[in-house]
Amino acid sequence: MLYFIKTHKIKAISLGSKVLSTFVFCFTINCLIAQIDKHQITADFDRQLYKPAKFLFIGGYAHASLEAFQREGVTDSIKANLDKIGLAAQLNLAKGLHVFSETEYNFLDKKVHFTNLFLSYQPAESWGIRAGFINIPIGHFNRYHIIADKSFLTEPKLTTDLLPVIYSDAGFGFFGTLGKEIDCKFTYELNFIEGIGEQILYTPSANTEMQLSKNNELRLNDNNKNLMVNGRFAFTEPDIFEMGASFLSGRYSNEASDTIRDIQIYALDFMLKQGQLKMQSEVAMNVVDIPSNMMELYADQQWGTYVDLIYRAYSYQPKKLNQALTLDLAFRFDYVDLSNGYFNKTREKITNDYYKVTGGLVFRPIPKTAIILNASYQWFSDLLGNPPKRTSGFEFGVASYF
């Protein structure tokens, strides 16, 4: 590995300058915005926005990284990734009535993705209604994926390989918070959406892929003519504890298909803060009605989980700064079973499994900007149970919210 880095020194410096430029830009924006913190509001989905005009609130984020991985003993070249840049805005039209918009430019597919564009009316904390293009809550991460205290440069494998994250769709829904006057609150959300189409089947990987159901190009209709129901319910004690349950249930079909089949997605999530330690975890399952001639090849059940442990190892408060400098230790375990079942004839376990462990250091020069170093190791067993394919490597980057 040392030899590899030396032979690519010039290239690494060139690529690293891109990440450094992104960090300088984000750091400067954060410092400027820190001067107007008194105008900060917590908008939909806990987004932190700022007020540049009377009725307008805006915010944004950017992620950039360098990575070097070794796959099956073959070392890849060092890559620079400006992963994504996002912008959120809220326009207040009247008391309790506003338009919320959130867009993201992904440099991997070079497309602009809409995660939210809806009209919301909330006359009271206990209830509200929204309609438009909505980020659907399937688990905690899908709804709150834009966070200021990011500790990992990559998303959990449960969200990239199992669930349709980040998932948005056209529809309308109800939401609210009960128990405002007590420490423990109950939050709820119930949405009626167009849902998932048949594109989860007939995939390039020859397996069921929920990721292919995503529709973030702001099409307000798709090929599924069957209404689906989505909801998330959670008990929360702010900054201490949260336990939530979510689901997506309905039928999927295609205009060219002569059958309608059932699909359910379930997720449980849990968060606990105790002193300097924070634990975040989710577990999810997909249950899909598959045509009989596709059984065993395409999965009718999939499940996965991840566990994050974040420990605040060091905190220092300079005299001339309003915020403390912090250093966190991070650890993540991922597991995804993409074919939860057995072969009919042999009764052997279908071993379409991913395992991954990630460790990291997270330095925060200011609260909403993190400089992250991650090291990871993962192994994957294919459908037939062949020897696992292994990947290991490092990532170094910056995640900033402004």
pLDDT, tens only, 64-117: 889 988 887 677 778 888 777 888 888 889 888 999 988 888 777 777 888 889
Both structure tokens of 338:
């993409």
Considering its fold, how many domains does the chain have in total? 1
In this prediction, residues 296-321 reach a mean pLDDT of 87
pTM of the model: 0.84
Cα 144 from Cα 43, distance rounded (Å): 12
Task: Give the CATH number of the domain where residue 385 resides.
Answer: 2.40.160.10
Strand partners, 137: none
Of the candidates 152, 153, 43, 155, the one whose C-alpha atom is nearest the C-alpha of residue 88 is 43
The CA-based dihedral angle spanning residues 294, 297, 300, 304, taken in that order and rounded to the nearest 10 degrees: -160
Name the average pLDDT for the chain.
80
The range of the structural domain enclosing residue 343 comes to 2-401
Q: Tell whether the model's pLDDT for residue 344 goes beyond 80.
A: no
pLDDT > 90 in the chain, percent: 30
Q: Tell whether the model's pLDDT for residue 33 goes beyond 60.
A: no
- How high is the pLDDT of residue 13? 46
- How high is the pLDDT of residue 283? 96
pLDDT, tens only, 207-226: 666 666 655 455 545 555 67
Buried b (16+ CB within 10 A) or exposed e, 29-54: bbeebbeeeeeeeebbbebbbbbeee
Cα 168 from Cα 135, distance rounded (Å): 4
